[in-house]
């Protein structure tokens, strides 16, 4: 019998180790994905909870430094006077703001010396189908901002809103005319929805059809009961992924290609924990958003109906930083930039950064392309 030469033995051992690593990663990703998830690790306190909506406060970090996309960031010992309140969109879970230890927006803002609060809209059910834009903008948001003011002892606030959260931020400032909203940061929020690429062309067609139906029959979508528009979490997950179907498929293909990279597999599991756990949209919100934001494109004229009231963007005078994603197919830069034409803010900035709709908030490029500049911009206006 021939003996295996040392090089052959080493190759066989290496192949065995590689095979075991690939098999272990594949098993964990398929059957033990929760053990890989690194999201949601930054501690927080719950200050208020009404059974659906809760208010989080992120206390000072105990570390001297944090790691951010390969950079070491010192934790600021002093805090800026003006707290920042993160106003999320509906349908998402809060893991997006604390996705990875080295890619956590709440952790980074806390390290930069900001008092950080976050409104968690919770998980609505069909029992909340009657909740509409007025419910969130004119009832819940003012209530929770008051709790922030009570806890922080500060009247002036900064609001950070991504996607629908950005619309909530603008609608609240426009409707309430709250002069204590000092800064507003709005990411990926459609103002001229008909200018939003393919989505815009589709909604233009729907708009023309809806107008024809109204003229001939007098029928409006708001004539229907809101529960018919209730959108379950699985449908929102599917819809979000279909905004970039090629990217979604390629993401899973990359898992196969990089199956031996444990860090990549853990990061993919953490991202999927957000994407695969989206929650429901209340029917009334879907009804209002589809009709007033997308079909009727009311915001392109600088105003929108919220319940029986009219929110005028000309009433927004907070310092404004508006950001759009260069590769965002849901809310293109052309759709987002129109905010600059309507708000009364004297200090207003619009930026286009790399990334898609999710990428501008929590993508791999977000820390360097937007977070650093965002925190610098905010620091200059928060004392």
Q: If pLDDT is split at 50, 70 and 90, which confidence band does 67 have?
A: confident
Of the CA atoms within 13 Å of residue 7, those in its CB half-sphere come to: 0
E-strand ranges in 143-292 read 157-162, 181-187
Q: Is residue 249 part of a domain?
A: no
- Residue 34 above 70 pLDDT? no
Q: Is residue 331 part of a domain?
A: yes
Q: Which of 40-54, 183-197, 228-242 has the lowest mean pLDDT?
A: 228-242
pLDDT digits over 76-85, tens only? 987 899 999 9
Range with the largest mean pLDDT of 38-42, 218-222, 328-332: 328-332
Q: Is residue 1 part of a domain?
A: no
- Residue 252 above 50 pLDDT? no
E-strand ranges in the chain read 45-49, 54-58, 65-68, 71-74, 84-87, 116-120, 157-162, 181-187, 303-306, 309-312, 319-325, 348-353
Number of domains composing the chain: 1
This prediction's pTM: 0.84
Euclidean distance between CA atoms 196 and 324, whole angstroms? 11
Range with the largest mean pLDDT of 95-109, 249-263, 269-283: 95-109
Where in the sequence is the domain holding 190, given as residue range(s)?
37-231+280-379
Q: Is residue 59 part of a domain?
A: yes
DSSP for residue 349? E
The dihedral over CA atoms of 37, 43, 47, 53, expressed in degrees to the nearest 10, equals: -10
pLDDT for position 234: 65
Distance of CA 303 to the CA centre of its chain: 23
CB 189 within 8 A of CB 331: yes
Q: Is residue 154 part of a domain?
A: yes
- Residue 17 above 70 pLDDT? no
Q: Is residue 41 part of a domain?
A: yes
Euclidean distance between CA atoms 337 and 92, whole angstroms? 24
Euclidean distance between CA atoms 28 and 9, whole angstroms? 28
CATH number at 70 reads 3.40.50.1820
Question: What percentage of the chain reaches a pLDDT higher than 70?
Answer: 78
Euclidean distance between CA atoms 182 and 148, whole angstroms? 14
Instruction: Report the length, in residues, of the chain.
Output: 383
Q: Is residue 291 part of a domain?
A: yes
Q: Is residue 310 part of a domain?
A: yes
Of the CA atoms within 13 Å of residue 110, those in its CB half-sphere come to: 25
CB 287 within 8 A of CB 129: no
pLDDT for position 223: 78
The dihedral over CA atoms of 85, 193, 306, 158, expressed in degrees to the nearest 10, equals: 20
Residue whose tokens read 């830069």:
333
pLDDT digits over 99-156, tens only? 887 889 999 999 999 999 999 999 999 999 999 999 999 999 999 999 999 999 999 9
Q: If pLDDT is split at 50, 70 and 90, which confidence band does 363 have?
A: confident
């Amino acid at each position: 019998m021939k003996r295996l030469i040392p090089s052959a033995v080493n190759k066989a051992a290496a192949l065995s180790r590689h095979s075991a690593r690939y098999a272990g990663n594949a098993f964990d990703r398929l059957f033990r994905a929760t053990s890989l998830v690194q999201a949601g690790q930054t501690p927080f306190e719950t200050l208020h909870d009404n059974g659906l909506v809760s208010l989080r406060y992120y206390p000072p970090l105990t570390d001297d430094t944090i790691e951010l996309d390969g950079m070491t960031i010192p934790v600021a010992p002093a805090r800026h006077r003006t707290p920042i309140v993160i106003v999320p969109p509906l349908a998402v879970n809060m893991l997006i703001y604390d996705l990875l230890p080295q890619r956590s927006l709440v952790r980074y803002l806390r390290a930069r010396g900001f008092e950080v609060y976050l409104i968690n809209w919770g998980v609505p059910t069909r029992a909340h189908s009657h909740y509409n834009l007025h419910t969130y903008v004119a009832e819940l948001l003012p209530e929770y901002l008051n709790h922030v003011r009570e806890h922080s002892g500060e009247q002036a606030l900064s609001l950070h809103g991504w996607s629908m959260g950005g619309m909530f931020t603008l609608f609240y400032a426009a409707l309430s005319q709250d002069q204590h909203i000092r800064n507003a940061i709005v990411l990926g929020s459609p103002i001229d929805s008909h200018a939003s690429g393919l989505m815009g062309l589709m909604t233009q067609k729907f708009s023309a059809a809806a107008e024809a139906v109204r003229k001939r029959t007098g029928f409006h979508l708001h004539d229907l009961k809101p529960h018919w528009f209730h959108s379950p979490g699985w449908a929102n997950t599917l819809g979000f992924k279909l905004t970039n179907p090629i990217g979604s498929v390629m993401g899973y293909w990359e898992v196969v290609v990089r199956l031996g990279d444990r860090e990549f597999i853990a990061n993919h599991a953490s991202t999927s924990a957000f994407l695969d756990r989206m929650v429901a949209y209340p029917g009334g919100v879907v009804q209002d958003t589809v009709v007033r934001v997308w079909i009727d494109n009311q915001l392109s004229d600088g105003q929108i109906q919220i319940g029986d009231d009219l929110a005028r963007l000309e009433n927004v005078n907070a310092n404004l930083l508006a950001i759009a994603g260069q590769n965002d197919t849901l809310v293109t830069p052309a759709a987002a930039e129109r905010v600059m034409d309507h708000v009364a803010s004297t200090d207003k900035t619009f930026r286009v950064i790399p990334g898609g709709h999710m990428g501008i908030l929590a993508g791999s490029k977000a820390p360097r392309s937007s977070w650093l500049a965002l925190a610098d911009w905010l620091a200059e206006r928060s004392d």
